Structure 1
Amino acid sequence: MKIILIEDVKSLGKKGQIVEVNDGYARNFVLPKKLGLEATGKNINDLKLQKANEEKIAAEQLQAAEDFAAEMEKQEVVLTIKAGEGGKTFGSISSKEIAEAAKSQCGMEIDKKKIQMPEAIKSLGTYEVSVKLHPKVAGKLKVKVQEEK
């Protein structure tokens, strides 16, 4: 019997695959636990439409991430930090502070977990911080750190 998997089944396959199983296994395990559907013409058609819709949504999300990255690269976020003699700072700038400043200064909603910094910013100057917007898209944001007066 051919089955369309609704969920990932460890020994059978991934969601959306069409697999061949024994009739008893399908009737007694896969179908009652709602792990799959019988592969009828209507169900196969529905699966194709669902995959096409998912691909369309994924393409729209990718385009939106690329647009946001292009917009973000035009912006600059300014942060201030206390500094002592010789430009030595007290403390550091974290991804949380950068996300809050981007929201207040530029109106951009950036998740602090998506801001990729090898380490916190501990000195004055201008930095480019990478922001992972999508698995295929990463944008750059300019962060200018100034001395607090």
Structure 2
Amino acid sequence: MQVILIQDVDTLGQANEAVKVKNGYARNYLIPRKLAVEASPSNLKQLEEKLKVKARKEAAMLAQVKQVIAALQSGPVKIGAKTGTSGKIFGSVTALQIARAIKDQKGYEIDRKRITIVDEVKELGTYKSSIDFGGGNVAEMEFEVVGE
């Protein structure tokens, strides 16, 4: 019997995937637990439409991510920090400060958990950070720490 999985099932497949299983397994386990539906012609058409919509959404999202990456790489973001007389900053620059600076200067709101600072920031200067947008989309971004 061919069924369409509604949820991910270990050792069987991912959601929105048509798989062939034994009749008893489908009727006694998958369908009653709402893990799958029978692969009728109408259900297969619905699956096809669902996959088309998902592909369009992913393409739009990818275009938006590329736009954000291009804007972030266009120039460094300036982050103000209090410094001592020798140029060392008090404390260090965190991902939260970078996220706030991106929002203020570039206009994009990015979750601080997605930002990774490459080097430890303890002095004034230019540094690099990477932002993971998911799906293999990673942007390298420069930020400049300036004294307040």
How high is the TM-score relative to the length of structure 2?
Answer: 0.87
Kindly provide the CA deviation profile for residues 16-49 of structure 1, in whole angstroms up to 9, marking residues without a partner as x: 2222222222222211111111111111111111
Larger strand share, 1 or 2: 1
Q: Which residue of 1 aligns with 2:112?
A: 112
SS of residue in 1 equivalent to 2:28: helix
CA distance in 2, matches of 1:118, 1:142: 10
Q: How well do the aligned residues superpose, as a CA RMSD in angstroms? A: 1.8
Contact 2:77/2:144 (8 A) holds in 1: yes
Q: Which residue of 1 aligns with 2:43?
A: 43
Kindly provide the CA deviation profile for residues 66-125 of structure 1, in whole angstroms up to 9, marking residues without a partner as x: 011111222432222222233222210001011112222332212111112134411111
Tell me how many residue pairs correspond in the alignment: 148
Q: Which moved more, 1:32-41 or 1:4-13?
A: 4-13
Q: CA, structure 1 residues 21+142, in 2 after alignment: closer, same or farther (shift >3 Å)?
A: closer
Q: Which residue of 1 aligns with 2:31?
A: 31
How high is the TM-score relative to the length of structure 1?
Answer: 0.87
Structure 1, unmatched stretches of 5+, are: none
CA distance in 2, matches of 1:11, 1:140: 37
Q: Which residue of 1 aligns with 2:78?
A: 78
CA distance in 1, matches of 2:11, 2:107: 48
Q: Which residue of 1 aligns with 2:102?
A: 102
Q: Which moved more, 1:31-40 or 1:134-143?
A: 134-143
Contact 2:99/2:110 (8 A) holds in 1: yes
| 2:114 pairs with 1:93 | no
Q: CA, structure 1 residues 11+137, in 2 after alignment: closer, same or farther (shift >3 Å)?
A: closer
SS of residue in 2 equivalent to 1:127: strand
The structure 1 segments of at least 4 consecutive aligned residues displaced by more than 6 Å after TM superposition are none
Of all paired residues, the percent bearing the same amino acid is 35
Greater relative contact order (Cα < 8 A, sep 6+) = 1
